[in-house]
Structure formats: C-alpha cells, structure tokens
A and B are shown apart, each in its own frame.
Chain A
Amino acid sequence: MTAVYEPWDETRGAEIIAEHSKQEGATLVMLHALQDAFGYVPAAAIPMVAHALNLSRAEVHGVFTFYHDFRHKPAGRHVLKLCRAEACQAAGGDALAARAEAKLGVSLGHTTADDRVTLEPIYCLGLCATAPSAMLDGRLIGRLDEKRIDALVAEAQR
C-alpha cells in the first residue's frame, strides 16, 4: 500500500511542531513527525523547528543531514528497501540487489525517472534468520529469491 502524504502546509507544519514542543531534546521527534506527515522534511520547516527549540538553523540542519532516514524531497510512490548487511549477503543478497537494480534501471539510493520507485539499501531489518530480506512500503518480506524479488519489483512498478 502506498503511503498517503499531505502536501506541505506551514500552518499544519507549525501544529505538528507544537505537538512535541514539551518533549525534551525533541529535534528528531519533530523531524520524524514532519516526515511522517509530508513524506519528507520541507526546507521551510527547518527554521520553524529551530525556532521552537531555541536552536540555530545550522544546528537543526546538521541534525537533519546526519541521519540517513530524513529526506529533503519526497521519495518515489513506492519505496523498496533491500537489506545489504552481512546476514543477507551470506544468503545471496548481493545478486538479488543487482537484479533489482537492473530491472528498475537505477542503482541503490536512487529513484526511477518516472518517480514510481525509490530503491534503497537498508542495513539490517533484523530478519537475519529468514534472509535475504526487504521492505516494500513498510511491508516486510523474507526468504527472498529471484522469483520473489521479481514479483516485488513488479509490484512496486505498478
């Protein structure tokens, strides 16, 4: 299922930020909440978070860029994450990742030209006993093989 995000709206953004303003050290909490609502963290939201937390814009920008999760623009309609860590490598994950890249015509970390699929590496989903594993829009898939990866790619392209 594709996640449905709201378009960026400053008033809505301010509301989301205000909801967490009582929490201590809430920078990540706010960035997560913004991304959950809008699908990414709009540049306009950074100074708003900074203001709410009495931090400089540079400090919030620094936090935003440090963590792999936060996006500065929306992802494709579907996000396919392939685990690239050791347990999945041991179970044949390298070849499956290469196969997905070839089928989609993009390398890991990129979005297809039609904005349909974002293909990303992930370092461990904790499904190491049913490796190789993947996550498609939040749904977990283990024991991947060529057939399953092809089906996942096809599903993401729909």
Chain B
Amino acid sequence: MSIRLYVSRDAGALAVGADEVALALEQAAAKRGVAVEIVRTGSRGLYWLEPLVEVATPQGRIAFGPVTETDVPSLLDALASNTPHLVRLGATDQIPWLKRQTRLTFARCGVIDPRSLDDYRAHGGYKGLERALSLGSDAILTEVTASGLRGRGGAGFPTGIKWKTVAQAKADRKFIVCNADEGDSGTFADRMIMEGDPFLVIEGMTIAGITVGATKGYIYIRSEYPHAVEAMNAAIQAAKRGGYLGANIGGSTYSFDLEVRVGAGAYVCGEETSLLESLEGRRGLVRAKPPLPAHHGLFGKPTVINNVLSFAAIPFILAEGAKAYADFGMGRSRGTMPIQLAGNIRHGGLFETAFGVTLGELVDDIGGGTFTGRPIRAVQVGGPLGAYFPRALFDTPFDYEAFAARDGLIGHGGIVVFDDSVDMRKQARFAMEFCAIESCGKCTPCRIGSTRGVETIEKIINGERVSENLALVEDLCNTMKFGSLCALGGFTPYPVLSALKHFREDFIPAPTTLQAAE
C-alpha cells in the first residue's frame, strides 16, 4: 500500500528546506521498499512549523513539523509502527492555530495540489464561476455589492461599486488587472495564494471579466516572486486546456484570457496607476486621478484593477452567496481578512479571520509574542506605509475604520512585530529612506520631501537642534501627507509620525534636551 505524504512547495517552506525534506523522504522510503506518493502543496501558513509534512490516513491528515532531513528516518519509523514522534502534531485540522481561523479565501491553500485543476474542482473550485454564469452581470454585481467586500490591497474601496462603474462604461475593450505587486514588508498572502491555490485567482478574475464585459486580463506579479510567477503561468495553461480560459469558458458564450506580466523591482508599481503605466511598458510614474482606472485605465480603456486577495474572495461569495461572506466581520469591514504575522514573532504565518479581532490578540495570543522572547515594543501594521503601534493601542480591533481613527491603516494585512531592542529613530529614518529610494519622482513632496526627511532625522539622531528638527519633520510630514499624488509620499508620514508620537523618548536623548524641547 502506498503512503501519501504532503510537503509544501511554497517559497516560505522552500526557504527553510522543504525540498531537501521531500527528497530525503523519497530516498529513505525507496531504501526501505516503502511506496510513497509525495504531493507538493501550498503552505498551510504555519511557518514556524515548516517544513511541515502531512500524512494521509483514513481519519484525515496527520501533521509533523518542523521536520528536518535528519528527522526523516525516525519519522518513517513512527509511521510504520504508528508510534509517537517528537515533531508529531496530531491531526492537522485540530492544530489550534489552524482551528481558530475562518478560512474562506485560504480554505484550499496547503490542502490541494496547486498544479492540478482536477484537485481544485474536487475541492469546490469553479462553483463560483458556475453560479456566476447562471446569474449574469447584474445579479453578480448585486452579490458582490451585498457581500460588502472592500479592496484588500489596502485602500478598502467597495469592490461592487468599482465593478459596476466598469460594467456601465461603454468601450470597445475593457480589461481586468490583478495587482500582484505585493511589495509591503510583512505581507505574503498574495504570494501564498498564487503559489498554493492559483486557480482561485483565475476564477475570481474570470468572474470579474464576465461581469464587466472584459475579455482580457493581466496579472502583474513582482519579480521578487519567481515561484508565484511559475505557479500562475502553469495554472493559466491548465485552465486553458480545461476550457476555463479562452473562448466559450465553461461551455458558455463568454471568452476570457489571461496573461502574467512580471514587474522589475519598483515598489511604487503596487500603486494602481503606476502599475498600469508599467503594464503599458512605461516608467512606473503615478497618474493623477481622476480619471479613475474604471473609466480610463489600461491602454485608456475601462479597467477593473483589484488586489489578488480581492479577486480571491470572489469565488466564495458567488458560490456560497453574499450573506455567507457578509455575516463575518464588524461595522463596514465585512467578511474575513487574511492577516499576516511577521518579523520578530514566535508563531508567524497566515491567519485568516473575521474582522474585529484585536491587535493584542493577534500578536500576543495568536502570534505568541516575540521569537527572541523579549517584550514586544512596537508593531507596524500595513507595510512600510503603515503606522507603528505601541502596546497602549493593542486594543484596536482589526477594522479599516478603527485603525484609521488611530492614525493607522490595516493596508494589506501585514503585521510586523519588533521587540524592545528596536530603535524607533532608525525605523523612522528607514521609512523616509525607503520612500526616497522608491519614489517615482513625479510629485515634489514625495521626491524631495523623502530625501529631506532622511537628512533631518539624521540630524535628530546626531543630536543637532533636536526640538527644532522634530518640528521640521512633523511639518514636512504634513506637506507630504496632503501634497503627494499617491500613497507612497502620502502615507510615508504614518510610520514617521507614529514613531514620533508613540515613541517620543527615542528621539529625545538626554533630560537636559528634554527641558529645552518642552
């Protein structure tokens, strides 16, 4: 009898040795004359347990992790004799970290073989498209709007309204663009879903195409994600062969085609208008809005541009109905958010849950505190443009409005934890430095402001006229915030100002200077 094993092929698992473990399993099994079938899945998102090895049993999957090459012989022994093992975790779906989640978008990630269209369909894939085809454009729009889904890229714009605008626009051609330029540090949900369940993204984009009358879509993936590029390309080919892309998709009268385009290392291209410029083959200079991409987008045509996670949420909404999605969440933040726990954290990974969970629950309870074992001092939420929150704000619920009310943002759902060794002056300087490196150069507040910001924070670090320079930085931040064309210059002040406000003690060196400053 053949034993079926599951080992992730996710980039995060590969980085900690998943390929080596898979190879060792294969070789050790062959040596013992045991027949094994190793299925390479996406990641379950429990990264501290990667490489995770799962074994199919009549009672469901049993997990082992983290597994090293040297664990392999004893692991096979334990399997053969059904005895305990040091890294045996028990039934995968009973692992508390996984059991506590509400996986709507990531339900299949880590479970199925991402290269197999059959596996996708066997696990409920393409049910959303099926229902969408039977509903037609107007009814799909009603569903998407009723689900309350908001853009998961960070801006939180209602997806239903965006789609409706494009559906109503008159044009000879329309486009669907998937923003997979996931450049925020601390985020990896797009990467995981593209590598672990790529057909889900394709299905979501196809539904968008049917809804608004677009026949061509582009997925713009950053070049730092070669594994995601490969996975998406393979899935697109498989979907074409299976009749799910191309002419007459799923046997209908609709046509829809997809193409992957690869970025070239510019962070600003995650901004939607910059991304469109890049897709058109130009420098990623931000466009002024209006006109909105919904009216005047790719190649000047009406375009739906959404984040990977927005498209990935669509199949569930169509398959199970808007209410099933909207029943989760709080206030105007409906449904679930795939939250990413990262940085100096004990239990890092992907935690999909309904909106409303507090920051403290996420980092202390779910995340288990820091990896180094030192106290958490600061948490940056929402990537390089997100605010640093101190422990005093850990009661903030994960919700678009609640974070905005405290001068922060949830962005793409990335949470980076820092322990008490962090120097917030350095973090503030880095925010400006990163903006200076990545600024597209189109507007002055961002292009010049970020460089002046680095210089001024340098002076503060060197103890030069600290109080005056602090005032100058605050003033500069306001100019950038209100005067920049896009979120790069406009949001860089969030990490800087939050560092100044919540961690003031780091910026004011000695008590004598403190008196002078006050």
Contacts and interface: CB of A to CB of B under 8 A. Distances in A.
Given A28-B281, A128-B340, A138 B187 contact: no
Given A27-B281, A32-B264, A66-B283, A126 B416 contact: no
Contacts of A85: 185-186, 384, 434
Interface residues of A, number: 42
Interface stretch (A5-13, A96-104, A117-125, A149-157): A117-125
A25 B371 contact: no
A86 B266 CA distance: 17
Contacts of B264: 28, 31-32, 67-70
A131 B16 contact: no
Contacts of B440: 66
Contacts of A70: 264
A130 B299 contact: no
A75 B377 CA distance: 40
Interface stretch (B222-230, B234-242, B391-399): B222-230
A89 interface: yes
Contact of A66 (B12, B50, B284): B284
B414 interface: yes
B29 interface: no
B434 A123 contact: yes
User: In terms of DSSP, what is the predominant structure of the interface of chain B?
Assistant: mixed
Contacts of A122: 224
Contacts of B279: 25
Contacts of A87: 185-186, 342-343, 414, 416
Interface string B14-36: 11100000000000000000000
Interface in B369-398: 371, 380, 383-384
Contact of A143 (B16, B182, B187, B414): B16
Contacts of A92: 344
A23 B260 CA distance: 12
Q: Which 4 A-B pairs have the closest CB atoms?
A: A129-B348, A27-B281, A85-B185, A142-B15
Interface of B: 11-12, 14-16, 47-48, 50, 182-188, 190-191, 223-226, 259, 261-267, 278-284, 299, 340-345, 348-350, 371, 380, 383-384, 414, 416-419, 422, 427, 430, 434, 437-438, 440
